[in-house]
């Protein structure tokens, strides 16, 4: 199974990708998580990405494409995966097409998680994230509270609020999404891979809709 989750910031890509990865054994591949790890470790990639991320802009295509290419071309390349936050524009989608074709891998489905902007602002202001790179669990003060406030249920690490979850940066991230996603959706629509799943409501019900879409998508 190979799928891409597309959606505005806060639409639940990370939440759903985590469930898909745990339950279906897919590699969860989030460019946002990889870049945040790079920033935490102060690598050269992290130093390049940080100003873009802090301002809610996309980091340059070349940087993320290199990260993804490296993962698919290196040893232990994934066969089954869920891509979360990549690709984000047409140029990235075309780069991914080339990498997958080179590796002889076909996508099964591209899921658009649709959520309105006002709900997103409400969600991101109350999101809590686990910084442990082996965990990355995501919580919400009201919709998915941790059992002990401020502490990850799974690995007991202290939770934090992301630097880009400030109201002005959330607005910028939404604006960037609206500027780039049309071309991306058209690209996957033409390939007959795109399915829209409403991203509002119960997390488990959304998960069930995504797995239904997986069944309905093009299977190799």
Q: Are 112 and 11 in contact (CB under 8 A)?
A: no
| Omega of the bond leading into 87 within 30 degrees of 0 (cis) | yes
Choose one: 37-45, 49-57, 69-77, 148-156; the region binding ligand AP5 (CB under 6 A): 49-57
- Which of 7, 8, 14, 56 binds Mg ion (CB under 5 A)? It is 14
H-state helical runs in the chain: 13-24, 31-40, 44-54, 61-73, 90-103, 117-124, 167-190, 203-216
Catalytic residue from among 48, 77, 80, 162: 162
The total of other beta-carbon atoms located within 10 Å of residue 198's CB is: 13
> Among 2, 36, 123, 173, which one carries the catalytic annotation?
173
In angstroms, the CA 151 to CA 15 distance is 17
Should residue 217 be labelled a site residue for ligand AP5 when binding is judged by CB under 6 A?
A: no
**Binders in 67-106 for ligand AP5, by CB under 6 A:** 85-86, 88, 92
Interface segment toward Mg ion; rule CB under 5 A; list 13-21, 47-55, 162-170, 177-185 = 13-21
CA distance 153 to 171: 30
Please identify which residue in 1, 2, 4, 15 interacts with ligand AP5, judged by CB under 6 A: 15
Smallest distance from ligand AP5 to CB 87, Å = 6
Give, as ranges, the residues between 25 and 44 that touch ligand AP5 (CB under 6 A).
31-32, 35
Among candidate residues 214, 193, 203, the one with its CA nearest the CA of residue 19: 203
We find the least distance from the C-beta atom of residue 126 to ligand AP5, in angstroms, to be: 6
Given 2, 13, 18, 36, which residue is catalytic? 13
Say whether 173 is catalytic. Answer: yes
CA distances from 117 to 7, 56, 78, 79, 128 (A): 11, 15, 33, 34, 19
- The answer to whether 158 and 139 are in contact (CB under 8 A) is no
Helices 90-103 and 61-73: crossing angle, nearest 10°? Answer: 20
By CB under 5 A, which span of 12-20, 42-50, 108-116, 149-157 interacts with Mg ion? 12-20
Binding piece for ligand AP5, criterion CB under 6 A, among 52-60, 94-102, 153-161, 178-186: 52-60
Of the pair 182, 220, the CB lying nearest ligand AP5 is at 182
For binding to ligand AP5 (CB under 6 A), which residues are involved? 7, 9-15, 31-32, 35, 52-53, 56-59, 64, 85-86, 88, 92, 123, 127, 138-140, 143-144, 164, 173, 201, 203, 206
């Amino acid at each position: 199974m190979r799928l891409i989750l597309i959606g505005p910031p806060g639409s639940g890509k990370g939440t759903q990708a985590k469930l898909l990865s745990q339950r279906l054994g897919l590699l969860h591949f989030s460019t946002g998580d990889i870049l945040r790890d790079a920033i935490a470790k102060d690598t050269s990639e992290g130093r390049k990405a940080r100003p873009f991320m802090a301002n809610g802009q996309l980091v340059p295509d070349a940087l993320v494409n290199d990260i993804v290419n490296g993962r698919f071309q290196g040893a232990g390349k994934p066969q089954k995966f869920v891509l979360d936050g990549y690709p984000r524009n047409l140029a990235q989608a075309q780069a991914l097409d080339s990498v997958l074709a080179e590796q002889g891998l076909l996508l099964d489905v591209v899921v658009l998680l649709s959520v309105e902007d006002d709900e997103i602002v409400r969600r991101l202001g109350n999101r809590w994230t686990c910084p442990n790179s082996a965990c990355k669990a995501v919580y919400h003060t009201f919709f998915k509270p941790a059992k002990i406030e401020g502490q990850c249920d799974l690995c007991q690490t202290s939770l934090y609020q992301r630097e880009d979850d400030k109201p002005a940066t959330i607005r910028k991230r939404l604006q960037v999404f609206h500027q780039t996603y049309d071309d991306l959706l058209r690209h996957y629509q033409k390939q007959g891979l795109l399915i829209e799943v409403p991203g509002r409501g119960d997390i488990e019900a959304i998960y069930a809709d995504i797995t239904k879409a997986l069944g309905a998508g093009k299977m190799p």
